[in-house]
Amino acid sequence: MTTSITTAFATDWTTWQAERANGLRDPLGFLSLTALHWLTDQPEQLPDVPGTWWVIEDRVFVTAKPAYRLDHDGERIAGVHIVVADEGAPGVLIRHEERVLEVIRRSGRSAVRVHDPAAPALAAFDGIPAYAPDERWVVRGRFEAFDEAITVTTGAVVDGLEHQHSAAGVIEFVIGAATERVVAFGTPDALRVLFTDATSGITTYPAARALTVGAVGDDGTVLLDFNRSANLPCAFTDYATCPVAPAQNRLRVAIEAGEQDPRLGAPERTA
Strands 52-56 and 59-64: antiparallel
**Concatenated DSSP letters for 131-145?**
PPP-GGGEEEEEEEE
Q: Which of 165, 171, 167, 151 is nearest to 216 (CA)?
A: 171
Distance separating alpha carbons of residues 96 and 217, to the nearest angstrom: 48
Question: What 3-state DSSP class applies to 25?
Answer: coil
* Reported pTM: 0.89
The pLDDT, as a whole number, for residue 60 is 98
Total residues found in the chain within this entry: 271
Per-residue pLDDT of the chain (271 residues; tens, 9 = 90+): 344 445 899 999 999 999 999 999 999 999 999 999 999 999 999 999 999 999 999 999 999 999 999 999 999 999 999 999 999 999 999 999 999 999 999 999 999 999 999 999 999 999 999 999 999 999 999 999 999 999 999 999 999 999 999 999 999 999 988 999 999 999 999 999 999 999 999 999 999 999 999 899 999 999 999 999 999 999 999 999 999 999 999 999 999 999 999 998 644 444 3
pLDDT in the model for residue 188: 93
Q: For the purposes of burial, counting CB atoms within 10 Å of the CB of 19, is it exposed (0-12), middle (13-18) or buried (19 or more)?
A: exposed
